[in-house]
Each structure stands twice: as structure tokens, then as C-alpha cells.
Chains A and B, each alone.
Chain A
Amino acid sequence: MESSIFQWVYDLPIAEHIRANELAFPWLESIHVLAITLVLGSIAVADLRLLGWASVKRPVSQVLHEVLPVTWVAFAVALVTGLLMFTSNAVEYAHNKPFQFKMLLLLLAGLNMLVFQFVTFRTVGTWNDAVRTPPGARFAGAASLVCWIGVVAFGRWIGFTIGF
């Protein structure tokens, strides 16, 4: 059942198209790498502020407000290029361990962000200018950095474990 969904994705015309055009995959991959480096680097600006390690002269809310739109645009590009690459070899990716770990880390990064946004960040008024932010905010920054570096590591690992 599960495999048949991925087989259906694999059989989509767009997936056929990517497999048939040998330049498609390297281009998608190049754009994906550029996008993910921007995601990691820009979110690191936010994370390092939450940890009190950088941008400490600027209010937390301002740092996040300025940098996160860049992160979101880059994430959208990484998502689209990633989905397209996934379709081209869907069944094998779905059963690839590094790929599964990468998806798990993406999920954790998303949950971490939701908790931060809807719980921790609500009290930002009291620590907006503080160098040393509350434990919850520092945890969110550290967890985010670990998740995203892990996403890069497992993403790179996929390339060594998938056979075309």
C-alpha cells in the first residue's frame, strides 16, 4: 500500500521527465544546495541571537523579523526542488534511511519552531533586548541549529547511499 503510493509518484509525468532529461537532476540539485545553504545560514542568524552568541545589540524580535523572510523564501525553493528530485526516484528515496532521518529532523525543526512561536515567543516583551534569553528560547535556538545541520548531513549522506 505504502509502496504503491511512492510507485504512483514515480510514474508521474514530471518524474519521467526528470529521469529522461539528464541535465534536470544536476540543476535541481544545484538550486537545492544553494537554497539549503541560505536556509541554514539565515536561520543560524536567528538561532545565534536566541543563544545570545551574535547580533546581541539588536532586539530579538527585530533580528527574527528581518531574517526569517529570507529563510522562508529559501525554504520554499528547497522544498520545490527537493520534491521534484524525490519524484524522480520516489520508491528508493522513501526506503532510504538517511532520507528518512532527514525528514524526521525536518519534522522536529518544524515542531521546535511551532513551540517557540506559540509558547516561548509570547513573552518576548520581557526579554527582547536581553543578551541572555530565557532557557526556552536558548533551547529553541540550539535545537534548531542541531536539526538543520543534521538535515544537511543526512541530505549529503543520501547521495552516497542511493544507487541510480
Chain B
Amino acid sequence: MLSTLRAFGEWLAMTSLSNTIQNVAWIIPTIQTIHIVCVAIVISATFLVDLRILGMFARSQTLASLSDRFLTWIWWALIVLLVTGSLLITGEPGRSITNPAFFAKMIMLVIVAALTYVLQRPLATDAGYWDGDRAAAAKGIAIVSLLLWSCIVFAGRWIAYVTAL
């Protein structure tokens, strides 16, 4: 598995796209900036909805309309994040593809994206879905979501500090 990834990284590093990203100085900082702006959208949208569930934000608005107002943005931002993230990997495959911080980031991302979908989906047809009996479950999801999204940002920064395998 690891050797396959390493071989893939070596092949990727020799592509002309990778060479361009490596050799033109402004490309990586620019892609990273776009990446961080999209992280800002995802983090803020999910945090505000999670804080609403925990009763710390916009209590005057229902969870369903808040979810409609914010969570719809994150799926578009996630698409841009996948594209910019893939370009960053293409530019420095040796640094990222076999990096434990990168693995951790991707695993947490899959889990929290699924959780966010589970939270958002029922609200589209039943605005009161997370009220009453399910309120405690919603609070649990909100806390896990806050923690996982924070850890994803941390793991992203730690790719620069953790040595690739």
C-alpha cells in the first residue's frame, strides 16, 4: 500500500503539471490562499450551525433555515478544496501523499462530511427533525463536528511539520 502510494507520488512528481507547480514561485502560495478562503467558508458555516445547535448562536432563527442559509455553501467550497488540494499534492507529492497528518486529515474529512450530511439532509423535508427526542443526538453531532473540523485544520497545517513515511 505504502510502496504503491510512493510509486504514484514519484510518477506524479515527474508530470509536467507537477513541474509547472514546483517551478513557478507564485502558484503554490496562490493555490494555498484559495484553499484557505474555502476552508474559511466550510469552517464558519459548520461552526455557526453547530453553535446554533448548542444554543450559542442566532437562537432567533430555526435550525432548518440556518442550515439552508449556511450548509448549502460548504458543498461548493468542498469541491474547490478538493481541486486546490489535489493541485497542492501534485506540486509536492513526496511531502504529502505518504504523510500521516495527511492520512489523518482525509479520514476525519470523510467522517465529518458524512456527519454534516446526516445533520443537514432531514432538515430539508422536516424542519423540526432535530427537535424534541433527537435534540441530544444533534448536540452530540455538533460537538463532534466542531472537534473534527478543528482537527482537520490542525492536521492540514501539520502536513508541513510531520515527516512523510
Whole-angstrom CA separation of A30 from B61 in the bound complex: 32
Interface of B, helix, strand, loop or mixed by DSSP: helix
Chief secondary structure at chain A's binding surface: helix
Contact status of A30 and B40, CB under 8 A, knowing A42-B48, A67-B48: no
B118 CB-CB contact with A under 8 Å: no
Which of B29, B30, B57 is the most central at the interface, judged by chain A CB atoms within 10 Å of its CB? B29
Interface residues of A in 19-47 (CB under 8 A from B): 26, 29-30, 33-34, 36-38, 40-42, 44-45
Q: Which 5 A-B pairs have the closest CB atoms?
A: A41-B44, A37-B40, A40-B40, A41-B40, A30-B154
**Chain B residues in contact with chain A, CB under 8 A?**
25, 28-30, 32-33, 36-37, 39-41, 43-45, 47-48, 51, 57-58, 60-61, 69, 150, 153-154, 156-158, 160-161
Residues of A within 8 A of B (CB): 26, 29-30, 33-34, 36-38, 40-42, 44-45, 54-55, 58, 62, 66-67, 70, 149, 152-153, 156-157, 160
Q: List 17 A-B contacts (CB under 8 A).
A: A26-B160, A26-B161, A30-B154, A33-B157, A37-B40, A38-B40, A38-B43, A38-B44, A42-B44, A42-B48, A62-B60, A66-B58, A67-B48, A70-B47, A70-B48, A149-B37, A156-B29
